[in-house]
Amino acid sequence: MRAGHVSGAERRRNEYSFDTSAFAGIQRLPLMPDQRDAIWTGVLRIADEGRLQIIDVVFEEIDRNKDHPHFEPCAINLRQYRRFPVTIDRNVLQRPLDPSILQEVFDEFPGMSGVRSRNLKADPYVLSLVHMENLVVVTEEPQDKKNKLPDACRHFGVRYLSLGQFIEQENLGSTFHV
């Protein structure tokens, strides 16, 4: 099966991990406020069901950028989410993130890793988590650019979806088109 494609049988039991761009993407969608609220409600329902795992570095990225118009609503909506048991603290995982995957991400995709930045970037940790837990990445990063999360997903054989594909797959936009 090619990366990015999810079969019908897998859809019933999909578990996901959002990267930072997916959360910001909810705010970027050209939707009416009630439609956007429906998307957030659906995402939080999926989290309540235990089908959405978020690595803590994603929250850190959102917090660092919370003054940006796309991230401020994310920070507000996700405050309650931090209490969910599916929030993954990279420092206290039952099974540690695979250091070989992290190292390979740092080596193969240095622009994605933040090695030249003071701020930790979430993508390598999201990738390691989804690889370890067999999750599907939801990202709004461009699929055709090198050194972006979809490129790394293809490299590691990890499944990924755009936010629009996720919304469609989970029937979160059943009354409108994304």
User: 3-class SS at 112?
Assistant: helix
Distance of CA 173 to the CA centre of its chain: 18
What CATH number has the domain bearing residue 140?
Answer: 3.40.50.1010
Range of the domain at 116: 13-169
Residue at 8 is within a domain = no
pTM above the 0.75 mark? yes
The DSSP bridge partners found for residue 88 are 55
Residue 144 lies in a domain: yes
Give the C-alpha separation, 170 to 40, whole Å: 12
**Is 178 domain-assigned?**
no
Question: Does 67 fall in a domain?
Answer: yes
Please indicate, yes or no, if residue 4 is contained in any of the structural domains.
no
Q: Is residue 6 part of a domain?
A: no
Residue pLDDT, tens place only, 16-35: 999 999 999 998 889 898 89
Phi, psi of 171 (to 5 degrees): 55, 40
The count of structural domains within the chain is: 1
pLDDT tens sequence across 104-156: 888 888 888 665 566 678 898 899 888 888 999 999 999 888 878 999 999 99
